[in-house]
């Protein structure tokens, strides 16, 4: 059972990345690959500041700002230099690898016996339950903030930017600026996942971000399938489903490991699983015809 609890906790850690991908991919319609780099960046900043015994109220803003800068860079390259968003993201992600490595000075930084977010508050005696409650509150706060943002006038303008650029420009919105802010926000969220995971697993590793974008994508695609299936238009419900998507994704991986699939094959399973979710709705549509 602990195995599945861990999966649930990991899913909650990854819900920030899922929200980030939801913003870049679904709201702005931009495929953003900066994710792999900004996720590790968040974890690296966390590890360095934690080992220097900095308090949470310094670490958390530092992580958000670091991720935000990474995303803004991708946004600037994409909008101002008119470079394809995918390529802009790959460029920043590649550069971030070196940045992360030189920031850490080594490829791995353990965080054992260092007080973290999860030892900060004691809600329950069981450390796993404690972690769960802290994560739940953390994710709830992020969701409330993002949900509120999307409901504001600024948020509506954000949603319209990815939807009808000609319309929103004629309504007085600088779409370049909007995309830069959007990518900054998405990558700040991604960095938050790095912040949570590094403390959850007790170390930061330079290669922890490789292929992490698929975790976010998979979660968002699960959510999207449910959103379309249930005909949901509410912003709040969509965000809740994105987080549910992140948790379901981790639970499915846990099931695969539980039934004895070779852990080396985990990335293949991940890829096939995402492929299945994407293709299933289309396949069932085909058979109906």
Using an 8 Å Cβ cutoff, are 228 and 284 in contact? no
- 172 sits near another protein (criterion: CB under 8 A): yes
Nearer to another protein, 123 or 167 (CB): 167
Is residue 179 close enough to count as binding another protein by CB under 8 A? no
Q: Which stretch binds another protein (CB under 8 A): 15-23, 101-109, 168-176, 182-190?
A: 168-176
Q: Which stretch binds another protein (CB under 8 A): 102-110, 112-120, 150-158, 274-282?
A: 150-158
Residue 149 in contact with another protein, rule: CB under 8 A: yes
The token duo for 132 is 């769960």
From residue 66 to residue 105, the character string flagging contacts with another protein as x (rule: CB under 8 A) and all else as - is: ----------------------------------------
Q: Which of 170, 264, 284, 287 binds another protein (CB under 8 A)?
A: 170
Closest C-alpha to 128, from 4, 6, 251, 253: 6
Q: What does the alpha-carbon distance between residue 240 and residue 184 come to, in Å, rounded to a whole number?
A: 22
Q: Name which position in 46, 79, 131, 175 contacts another protein (CB under 8 A).
A: 175
Binding string to another protein for residues 223 to 242, with x set by CB under 8 A, is what? ----------x---------
3-class DSSP state of 203: strand
Three-point CA angle 175, 80, 76, nearest 5°: 85
* Torsion of the alpha carbons at 223, 160, 175 and 166, rounded to the nearest 10: 130
CB of 81 or CB of 112, closer to another protein: 81
Provide long-range contacts, Cβ within 8 A and 24+ apart, for 133-142: 135/9, 135/12, 135/13, 135/196, 136/12, 138/12, 138/196, 139/12, 139/15, 139/16, 139/243, 142/15, 142/16, 142/19, 142/189, 142/192
Q: To the nearest whole angstrom, how small is the minimum distance from the Cβ of residue 164 to another protein? A: 4
Q: Which is nearer to another protein, 166 or 284 (CB)?
A: 166
**Binding residues for another protein (CB under 8 A):** 148-149, 151-154, 156-157, 159-160, 163-164, 166-175, 233
């Amino acid at each position: 059972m602990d195995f599945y609890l861990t999966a649930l906790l990991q899913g909650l850690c990854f819900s920030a990345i899922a929200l980030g991908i939801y913003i870049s991919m679904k709201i702005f319609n931009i495929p953003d690959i900066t994710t792999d780099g900004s996720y590790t960046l968040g974890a690296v900043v966390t590890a360095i500041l934690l080992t220097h015994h900095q308090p949470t109220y310094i670490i958390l803003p530092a992580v958000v700002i670091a991720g935000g800068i990474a995303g803004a860079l991708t946004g600037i390259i994409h909008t101002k230099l008119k470079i394809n968003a995918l390529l802009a993201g790959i460029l920043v992600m590649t550069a971030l690898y070196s940045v992360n490595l030189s920031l850490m000075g080594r490829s791995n930084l353990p965080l054992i016996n260092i007080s973290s977010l999860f030892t900060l508050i004691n809600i329950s005696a069981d450390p796993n339950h404690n972690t769960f409650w802290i994560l739940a509150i953390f994710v709830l706060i992020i969701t409330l903030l993002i949900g509120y943002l999307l409901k504001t006038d600024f948020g509506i303008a954000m949603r319209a930017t990815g939807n009808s650029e000609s319309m929103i420009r004629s309504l007085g919105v600088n779409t370049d600026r909007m995309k830069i802010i959007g990518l900054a926000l998405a990558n700040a969220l991604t960095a938050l996942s790095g912040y949570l995971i590094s403390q959850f697993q007790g170390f930061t590793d330079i290669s922890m971000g490789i292929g992490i974008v698929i975790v976010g994508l998979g979660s968002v695609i699960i959510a999207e399938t449910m959103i379309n299936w249930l005909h949901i238009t509410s912003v709040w419900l969509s965000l809740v489903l994105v987080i549910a998507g992140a948790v379901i994704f981790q639970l499915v991986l846990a099931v695969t490991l539980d039934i004895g699939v070779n852990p080396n094959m985990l990335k293949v399973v991940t890829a096939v699983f995402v492929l299945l979710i994407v293709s299933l709705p289309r396949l069932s549509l085909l058979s109906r015809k």
